[in-house]
Every structure is written in structure tokens, then in C-alpha cells.
Structure 1
């Protein structure tokens, strides 16, 4: 075995730090980019911002017409935990008891459910499970009704017991026969509780008025409004792309001195100044490049999905990231980063850029996307006779006769499940 030096020539792609940062900036949402710019403004003394106050596409519920872009969320609602603790103020209890109730409040999820095992929580507090359960019962008396439930069954039952006119049969069904009721085994259920199926249907109608996730409306103490990055404006039959420059404050790069031999600055000061000046100019270029890339991608989307923008969601055609990448002669990852967390205001509402992409349905010929098939499927189910809901096979037949879309029953079942639409047996009303 010989030992020696071997010289080889090879090519390697090395990404500069600026290129890496530019790629990162491209995939940032407008909110993330704003936060990033704010951080650099604080760190870099050469970067200033010119605040813009008009935000035509941001919803507001405030008396003031002026608001800084730095404030990108508005306090609208009281958070769930604060709402519950406010109700405890007038309830007399010992300090230890209040600690236990506070602990349970903190354990609630965003929907208002207590998902943790009560025995485990009791062991953490080093109290008996019975004691902690008594505090849970206290919590469950608070508003909103159904709060502190450990399951959907308990949540519904708590709300039934608080109705102005209580329904004993409904409470019995939910308490003792919840599975049969949920699975719509109503024929057997009617025999067990000795009531007609029509009455069970009335009970279901009552339950539909209840709130399955009572804590959801208090989910956050801040409401964040989505500001579209782009707007598609229709003028007659022409579509125009408008980039929302007001998403970000205007950057100003200060250059109070020029670096040349006449400047009597020490090396460290020159390096500091040069570094921050380069960073500021790079940030401006990166933001401009991000804007240009987004507009270019949107132009191709607009061209390929023109019927969608003119006539609505039913006309969405199959479109992939690769289609855009090939048209623009860029890498598919560039397109993926461009559409990530970006939003567009269209004539049919605010949508994410990702929503314009949909695969082609293999089972049919022509330009039919899976998204448009799902829209038609939802329309058929929403218009069905609730007394005789459509089976998956009947939906497949109607898609063919009404829209010229030929797909199998299995595909209908798959799409229905993806849309979280129950089976015809569950949808049936009596």
C-alpha cells in the first residue's frame, strides 16, 4: 500500500452568509419580517425607519385611524383564565382552596377542557383526588357553561343541566347512552329509552345549539389581523397585482461619512461603520428582491388561475410548485419559500398563496383539480335532503352527471373524510 499526496480538482457550492439570510427572508411571513427588521433597527445605528400610518387592508376596531406598524396586534378579548379568575373574586374560599382552583384553571386547554388526569394533578398538589374533584366541580359552575369538562360528553351534559328548561330524556341519553347517540344507532336507542326516533332527532337539534368548545372564544387575549402581502384587483375583465408596500416601514440608510483615505478614523471605527453600512444596504436589497420574487410568482399564478380570480373557487385548476418553478426558471424550493405564510386579497376573499396550488385528479381527463372536486362535493352534501342523505356512491354519480367528473366511490369517501364530513348514516335526520 503506497502513501502519497493526491491533488484533485472539484467544484463546491458555498453559500455566503448574505445569501443564506436572503433565502431566510424570502420565507418569512410579513409579521416575521417586520419583527426581524425591528431587531436590526435596534442593533444597527445606521438604519432608520419612516413609519407609515395608512393600512388599507388591515381590519380594525379602534377609534383611531393612526397606528404604528410596530403594533401588529390588537387587544380585543379577555383571555379565558382572566375571565374565570374574575368570577372567583366574589366567591368566598380559603387561600389554599383558591390555589387549587387556580391550578385547575391553568391546566385548561384552549377549548376549555381539562385533559390532564385528575389523579396526576392531585399528586402534584399533594392533595386527595376527591378534594381536587370538588374544586373542579366549583370551576364547572363558572361561565362559560361547559368549562372544565374532561370530555365532550361531560361538556354537553354540563350545558344541558344549565338550560332554562331541562330535558330529562336528553340528559339520560348523553349520560348513559352517549356512544349510541353519537354513532346514530337511534333505532336501538329509541327502544332503550322508550322514546320515538323523532324525539331523539329533536334532542340532537338542541345539542347542536350548544358549544362543544366553550373556551375557544377566549382562546387569546390578543387578536392578530392578517394583512395581505398582495392584492388582486379586478378592473372590468383585467386583473392587476398590487404589492402592499405598507406592510413594512420604509427603510432609511444613514451615511453621514464616506470611507476614504481622508477620513481620520481608526481601523476599528472604520470596520464598525463599514459592517453596519453593508448590513443596511443588504437588508434593502433583500427586501426588494423578496418583493420582486413574490410579484413574479403571483404573475404566473394569475396567468394560470385567471378563471379562478374571475369566476370563483370552482374554477381552480391543477397547479404545482414545479409548474411555477419551470416557468420562472428557478428552483422549486424558491417558489415554496415565496408562497410560505403569504396572503393574497382576491375578489373572492383573503386566501393564502398556497391555496392556489392543487394536484390534478388522476381519475379524470381535463383540467380538474382536487380542490374543485372537494368544493363540488361539499355543495352536493349541503344541498342534500337531510332525511335521505346522499351515499358516497350517489355523490360519485352526481359528480359525473352534474359536473362531468368521473371518480370512484373510494375517492369520494377519502375526500369526504378529509373535509371532516360524517357518513350519510350520521348525517341523516328524522
Structure 2
């Protein structure tokens, strides 16, 4: 075998650290970007924040109507476990009691349920299961009602027992006939209990007001409220895109080596200043580039989704990330990062930028998007006769008749499940 030395010419993209950071910056939400900027300003003394009345860095001490951006968008987060621990302060508990309650609190899942068996948990502390069960009953007496339940049935029952006006029939049904009630076998249930179906319906309405997952609201990240990155407004008959510059503060970069005048700066200080000046200038450019990319992508989205501005979400057309990428001559992943966790204030409410994208239903359906079909499907179900809810096939027939949307029963079932809408038998009211 003969070996030759061959020289070839080619192009290769070397991704610098700055380019990697710029890509990361593009996909940050406004809250994440704000946190990143705050960290850099603490590390880099040459980056100065231009404070304004609305600046996220400005802490106003005036009236509540003139609170700072941070005060309006950030609040302390209390998770479920901390919320429960805080309630224990008011009780005089032994060391073992507190250890048992801490064990149970740590065993809670995000919904506020305990899925581990008490037998297994008791073995961890080497105590009797009955002792731990008594502490579970104590935990279940705390807020929110239903916390510490081991099943949906127990969760609902715990909440019924905490109502100001107890309903014995409701408690009996949930305690002794939960399966029949959940499956809506109400005729059979009415015969067993010798009650009218409308009484079961009334209890159903009461239970609908309860919280099946009491811990969930504590697990949602409430450290920041959603703030629109972009606002779409109509001005003199034309639609305008306005970027929310108040989300991220304006930055200035100082270079002491330039402003030193006749003063001599040693080599080490010059190196330090140069590094921080470069970092500061990069940050300013990256934030500006992020803004420009977001505006360009949003402009192109609106060109494709102009009907949405007038008619609303039902008028959204099929649109993919590739459509926008090809038009703007950028990579599809760039569009994906641009729309990630970004929000737009529209004439039809606050929307995630990603919600403007939807696949085409099928080739013979023209400009009908899957998201618009889901919207129509939900409208059909919302307006149905609750005493005679529509089957999936009847929903498909209705969509064809009312909106000329031709989809199969199987597709209706798939979309209904994606919308977490139950079957017709469960939706039925008596």
C-alpha cells in the first residue's frame, strides 16, 4: 500500500466561545437573560447599567403604583414543602413527631400525594406503621386541603370533610361508591342509594370545585410573571411590532485605559481592563443581535399569519420553523432558539411565539393547521348538549358540516386527548 501526502482545501466552522455564548443568549427567556446580565455586572466592574424609571435594576421606594420592574415581576417563591414546614411552627411537637412529619413531607410528589407505602416509609425510621399513619393524619389536617392523600379518592374525601357545610351524601358516595361515580354509572348508583340522578349531578358540581392536585400550584415556578417581549399594535391602520426594551437594561462599557490620560497603567491592569472591556462590548452586541433576530423572525411570522391579527387564533395557518429559516436565510435551529420562551402581546391576548407555528393537517386541507382544528374541535365540544354529548365520530361530522374540515374519527380522538378532554360518556351530565 502506497501512502501519499495530499493537501486539500476546505472550509470549517470553528465555534468560538463568544459564538457559543451568543447562541445561548438567543434562547434565554427575558427573565433568564436578566439574571445573566445581573451576574455579569457583578463580576465585571466596567459594565455600567443605565438606570431609568422602569429599569430592572432600579429599586424605587415611592408609592405602590411606581414600583420597580423587579417588584412588579418577581416575588418570593414558596414551594409546597416549605409551606407545610412553616405551618408546623405553631405546634409543639416532639423530636420524633417532627422527624416523622419531615419524612412524610419529603415523600410528597408534585401533586401533593404520598405514593410510597407507609410500611416502607416506617422502615426508614424503624417505627411502627401505625405511628407514622397517625402523623399522616396530622399532615392531612394542614393546608392545602387534600395534601398527603394516597389516592384521588382520599384527596377528594379529605376536601369534602373540610367544607364549611358538610355533605354526608357526597362523602358516602366518594367513600363507598367512588368507582361508579367516577365512571358516571349514575343510574346504577341511583338505584343502590335510592336517590335521584339530579342529586348525584349536584354532588358532581360540588366535586368539580375541588382541587384534584392540591400541591400543583406550589410547584409552578411563580418566581417570575410572564412579561411580553414584543407587542403588536395597530397604529393608523398598520400593524407595528414593538420590542419591549424595558425588560433588559441599557448597558455602557467603560475603558479606564482610554480615560487614564497621563496616568500610567501597568501591564497586568491593562490586561485586566482589556479582558473586561471585550466581554462588556460582546454583551452589548449580543443583546442587540438577539433583539434584531427576534424582530426579524416576528416580522416574518406576521407576514405569514396576517389573518390572525383580524380573526384570531382560528385563522392561524400551517407554519414551520423551516419556512421562516429559509426566508431569512438562517438556520432552523436559530429560529427555534429565537421563539423559545418568548412571549408576544397580541390583539388576541398574550401568546408564546411558538404557538404561531403549526403543522399542516393534510395536503388536501389547504391552509388548515392542526392548532386551528383543535380550536374548532374545542368549540364544538363546548357548545354541545351536555346531556347528549357528541361522540368522536359525530364531532368529525360536525367539523365537516360547519367548517369544511375533513378529519377522521381517529384524528378527533387524538386531538381530544391532546386537549385533555374526556370521552363523551364522562362528559355526560344528567
Is the structural similarity TM-score above 0.5? yes
Structure 1 residue 383 displacement after superposition: 0.9
Change (3 A) 1:236 1:399: farther
State the alpha-carbon separation in 2 of the partners of residues 370 and 151 from structure 1: 35
Structure 1 residue 426 displacement after superposition: 0.6
Q: Is the CA contact (8 Å cut-off) linking 1:31 and 1:72 kept in structure 2?
A: no
1:111 paired residue number: 111
1:358 aligns with 2:358: yes
Q: Judge which range, 239-248 or 102-111, deviates more.
A: 102-111
1:46 paired residue number: 46
State the alpha-carbon separation in 2 of the partners of residues 177 and 159 from structure 1: 17
Structure 1 residue 122 displacement after superposition: 1.8
Structure 1 residue 226 displacement after superposition: 1.3
Structure 1 residue 117 displacement after superposition: 2.8
Alignment of 1:84-99 (within 5 A): 84-99=84-99
Q: Is the CA contact (8 Å cut-off) linking 2:159 and 2:210 kept in structure 1?
A: yes
1:257 paired residue number: 257
Structure 1 unpaired stretches of 5+: 57-61
Structure 1 residue 44 displacement after superposition: 1.5
1:128 paired residue number: 128
1:172 paired residue number: 172
2:19 paired residue number: 19
1:338 paired residue number: 338
Alignment of 1:317-328 (within 5 A): 317-328=317-328
Structure 1 residue 350 displacement after superposition: 0.9
State the alpha-carbon separation in 2 of the partners of residues 199 and 72 from structure 1: 46
1:308 paired residue number: 308
Q: Judge which range, 69-78 or 412-421, deviates more.
A: 69-78
1:37 paired residue number: 37
Structure 1 residue 147 displacement after superposition: 1.9
Alignment of 1:119-268 (within 5 A): 119-219=119-219, 223-258=223-258, 264-268=264-268
Provide the secondary structure at the position in 1 that maps to 2:103: helix
State the alpha-carbon separation in 1 of the partners of residues 77 and 261 from structure 2: 60
Aligned residues: 425
State the alpha-carbon separation in 1 of the partners of residues 260 and 7 from structure 2: 42
1:59 paired residue number: none
Q: Is the CA contact (8 Å cut-off) linking 2:55 and 2:249 kept in structure 1?
A: no
State the alpha-carbon separation in 1 of the partners of residues 81 and 19 from structure 2: 44
1:381 paired residue number: 381
Q: Is the CA contact (8 Å cut-off) linking 1:81 and 1:106 kept in structure 2?
A: yes
Q: Is the CA contact (8 Å cut-off) linking 1:51 and 1:68 kept in structure 2?
A: no
State the alpha-carbon separation in 2 of the partners of residues 425 and 240 from structure 1: 47
State the alpha-carbon separation in 2 of the partners of residues 90 and 98 from structure 1: 12
How high is the TM-score relative to the length of structure 1?
0.90
State the alpha-carbon separation in 2 of the partners of residues 179 and 140 from structure 1: 23
State the alpha-carbon separation in 1 of the partners of residues 384 and 424 from structure 2: 10
Structure 2 unpaired stretches of 5+: 57-61
Structure 1 residue 398 displacement after superposition: 1.1
Provide the secondary structure at the position in 1 that maps to 2:105: helix
State the alpha-carbon separation in 1 of the partners of residues 93 and 293 from structure 2: 61
User: What is the CA deviation profile of residues 280-326 of structure 1, one whole-angstrom value per residue up to 9, with x for unaligned ones?
Assistant: 11111111111111100010011111111222111111111111111
Change (3 A) 1:263 1:367: same
User: What is the CA deviation profile of residues 244-300 of structure 1, one whole-angstrom value per residue up to 9, with x for unaligned ones?
Assistant: 111111101112323999985443332222221111111111111111111000100
